[in-house]
Amino acid sequence: MKSGRLYSLIFRSALLILGVIPGRISAQTDSSLVRTIDSTVVAAHRRTSPLSARAETRVDMKGLGKLPTILGAADPLRFIRLLPSVQTGSEIDAGIHIQGCDHGHNLISIDGTPVYGSSHLLGIFSVFNPAHFGIMNYATTASSRGRLGGYVDMVPDRSIPDRSISGDFSLGLVAAQGNLKLRTGENSALSISARKSFLNQLYKSYLMVEEDTFLYGFGDVDLGWAWQATEKDRIYADVFYSTDAAEYASLENNLGVHLGWSNAAAALHWQHRGSDILLKQSIFASGYNARADISYNFEGGFIPYHTRNTGYKALMQWRDFDFVANLCYYDVLIPSPVHQSGSMTSATSEEAQQAMEGRISTAWSKYLTLNWKVKAELTGGWYLSPEKQSFWQLDPQVAISYNMFRSGLVELRAGSATQNIFLTGVSSMGFPIEFNFLAGKYGAPQRSLWASLAYNLDFRQEAWAFSAELYWRRLYNQMEYTGTLLDYLRADSSLAGMLTGADGWNYGINLILHKQAGKLTGWLSTSLGRSLRRGEDGSIWPSNFERPFEMNAVATWTERKWDAGGTFTVASGTPFTAPESFYLLDSKLICVYGPRNGKRLAPYIRLDLNFNWYFRKDKDFTHGINFSIYNALANDNELSYYFDYREDGSFAYVPFCFSLKLMPGIGWFCKF
Alpha carbon distances (Å) from 86 to 43, 361, 490, 517, 542 = 32, 26, 36, 24, 16
Domains plus CATH for the chain?
Answer: 3-671 (2.40.170.20)
Residue 368 has pLDDT above 90, yes or no: yes
Q: Which ranges of 134-282 does DSSP label H, i.e. alpha helix?
A: 199-203
Q: How confident is the model at residue 492 (pLDDT cuts 50, 70, 90)?
A: low
Average pLDDT over residues 166-185: 92
Average pLDDT over residues 208-226: 84
Query: Which pLDDT belongs to residue 40?
Result: 27
- Cα separation of 610 and 191, whole Å? 28
Instruction: Check residue 577 and report its DSSP letter.
Output: P
Query: Which pLDDT belongs to residue 345?
Result: 58
- Cα separation of 545 and 503, whole Å? 16
Provide the 3-class DSSP secondary structure of residue 7: helix
pLDDT tens profile 26-51:
223 233 332 322 222 333 455 566 66
Query: Which pLDDT belongs to residue 35?
Result: 30
pLDDT tens profile 238-291:
999 999 998 888 877 778 888 899 999 999 999 999 989 999 999 999 999 998
Q: How confident is the model at residue 55 (pLDDT cuts 50, 70, 90)?
A: low
- Cα separation of 145 and 324, whole Å? 10
Provide the 3-class DSSP secondary structure of residue 373: strand
pLDDT tens profile 623-672:
999 999 989 999 988 877 777 766 666 667 778 777 667 888 899 999 99
Q: How confident is the model at residue 3 (pLDDT cuts 50, 70, 90)?
A: very low
The model's pTM: 0.86
Query: Which pLDDT belongs to residue 11?
Result: 40
* Max Cα-Cα span within the chain: 86
| Residue % of the chain over a pLDDT of 90 | 56
Residue 4 has pLDDT above 50, yes or no: no
User: Which residues does residue 501 pair with via DSSP β-bridges, in sequence order?
Assistant: 479
